[in-house]
């Protein structure tokens, strides 16, 4: 690629993260692959980043997003971090990812551009640093779906096949994902900073993160306490939104909790079909630590680990610092409950607030669990007469609930039609159904046929529009269905 072409692509990288002490990263080039091929390109995201698709041909973009041809403006690094993985602390880091830099968009925003599956780094811990194609496609599908729902998330810019196999339990084709994020700073990044036993380095990370994500905290009398409170508020809102759509992250380790408040790492994630609060899909979550119902308390636990790292900065008096941080963490439950309740009211068409709403919502969930009702479609059908045909309507207890709910809706000044309209805006018709995800991935990975995958993605990007093909639940739920990290 000649320099003239490179100039027209639109890369405007900055590298502010490398102003931190060198403990937090290492310089690391992606390892070249033999036969890269671009299979997914997110053109709207490409454009919003200020990049010009027409500046390069298809093969040249494949060379870029495989790491075979690096933009001259890139300064690739691998970031250091630690984390509690299923409750056990370990020092980690980007073992198969490199950050090219921070792309400055035409509207002045800053986004990390990261390759995932780009080869080994000093943090690989004997791993090959590569990724299988299937999990990279899965992350593209689900992260872009979350974005379509306006749920904070990292995003997917491109997926390439590498032309090389990776060896896991079986031999699989390799892939590289280009991930876009507000940043890749995690709770685990701060935990890593704590292991350095250097308050100045911890302060440098905290000040950098505040400047990048929470600049208003600088005006506070206690900026670091304000920072903690801001992160707690973001996470309370985020987890509530996961719960609203039946999303199960699957691996809520502290290194997978983003300080910016974005959903990050779509390894063993999945969506519920039949409602059950203890649903687990991840093959490695044998104790149900990260089950659907456990996501709020686990988020609070993770945030408590984050608070511990900030104690030296919150107050010089250790006891006072612990007291202030504990108060902040204890507020998470109320903040989550408020966000969850507000969203659930929207899902059942309630404009105003009544004290009995919590019982109305919990009674519905209990009836859904009892009748093995589909989580997504029960809420969707509640906004129309379609609910009358659902299996749950055969339950006399549900009929009583329905009568009570209908009375509640009709007595609102906004009226029944306005309620139904609100419900249609807050209850997706299409979700990444597990059986459809697996079918689309299988066709793409095994048969190199991306037709279903592309059609599925197109439907998911309009999640509130009914689809004859992609709205249907499985004929019979696969109770043995498991998801895998794909590492």
Any idea which residues carry the catalytic annotation? 255
Nearest to 227 by CA among 177, 196, 188, 261: 261
Question: CA 69, CA 6: separation in Å to the nearest integer?
Answer: 11
User: What is the dihedral sign for C-alpha 349, 355, 358, 359?
Assistant: negative
Write down the residue that tokens 């009995």 correspond to. 356
Residues 6+ apart with CB under 8 A from 103: 11, 12, 13, 49, 50, 51, 110, 111, 112, 113, 180
337 torsion bin: left (phi>0), alpha (psi -120 to 50), beta (else): alpha
Nearest to 301 by CA among 275, 281, 329, 280: 329
> Distances from the Cα of 235 to the Cαs of 2, 263, 293, 420, 454, in angstroms?
44, 9, 16, 29, 31
Alpha carbon of residue 36 to chain centroid: 27
């Amino acid at each position: 690629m000649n320099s003239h072409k490179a100039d027209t692509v639109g890369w405007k990288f900055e590298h502010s993260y490398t102003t931190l002490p060198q403990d937090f990263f290492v310089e690391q080039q992606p390892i070249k692959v033999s036969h890269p091929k671009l299979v997914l390109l997110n053109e709207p995201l490409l454009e919003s980043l200020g990049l010009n698709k027409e500046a390069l041909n298809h093969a040249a973009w494949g060379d870029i997003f495989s790491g075979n041809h690096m933009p001259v403006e890139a300064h690739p690094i691998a970031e250091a971090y630690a984390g509690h993985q299923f409750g056990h602390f370990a020092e980690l880091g980007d073992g198969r990812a490199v950050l090219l830099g921070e792309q400055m968009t035409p509207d002045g925003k800053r986004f990390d551009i990261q390759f995932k599956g780009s080869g080994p780094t000093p943090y690989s811990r004997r791993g090959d640093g590569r990724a299988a194609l299937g999990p990279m496609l899965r992350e593209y599908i689900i992260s872009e779906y979350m974005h379509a729902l306006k749920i904070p998330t990292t995003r997917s810019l491109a997926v390439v096949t590498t032309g090389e196999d990776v060896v896991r339990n079986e031999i699989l084709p390799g892939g590289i994902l280009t991930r876009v994020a507000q940043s890749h700073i995690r709770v685990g990044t701060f935990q890593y900073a704590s292991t350095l036993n250097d308050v100045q380095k911890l302060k440098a990370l905290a000040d950098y993160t505040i400047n990048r994500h929470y600049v208003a905290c600088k005006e506070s009398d206690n900026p670091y306490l304000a920072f903690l409170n801001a992160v707690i508020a973001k996470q309370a809102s985020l987890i509530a939104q996961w719960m609203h759509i039946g999303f199960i992250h699957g691996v809520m380790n502290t290194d997978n909790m983003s300080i910016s408040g974005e959903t990050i790492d779509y390894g063993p994630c999945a969506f519920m079909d039949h409602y059950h609060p203890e649903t687990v899909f991840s093959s490695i979550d044998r104790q149900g630590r990260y089950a659907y119902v456990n996501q709020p308390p686990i988020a609070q636990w993770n945030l408590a680990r984050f608070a511990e790292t900030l104690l030296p900065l919150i107050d010089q008096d250790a006891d006072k610092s612990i007291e202030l941080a504990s108060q902040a963490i204890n507020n998470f439950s109320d903040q989550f409950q408020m966000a969850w309740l507000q969203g659930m009211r929207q899902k059942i068409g309630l404009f105003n607030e009544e004290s009995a709403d919590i019982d109305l919502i919990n009674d519905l969930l209990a009836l859904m669990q009892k009748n093995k009702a589909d989580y997504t479609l029960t809420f969707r059908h509640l906004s129309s007469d379609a609910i009358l045909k659902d299996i749950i309507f055969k339950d006399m207890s549900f009929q009583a609930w329905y009568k009570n709910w209908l009375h509640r809706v009709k007595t609102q000044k906004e009226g029944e039609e306005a309620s139904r309209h609100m419900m249609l805006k807050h209850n997706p018709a299409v979700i990444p159904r597990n059986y459809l995800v697996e079918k689309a991935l299988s066709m793409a990975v095994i048969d190199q046929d991306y037709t279903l995958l592309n059609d599925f993605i197109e439907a998911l990007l309009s999640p509130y529009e009914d689809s004859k093909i992609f709205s249907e639940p499985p004929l019979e739920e696969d109770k043995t269905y498991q998801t895998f990290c794909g590492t």
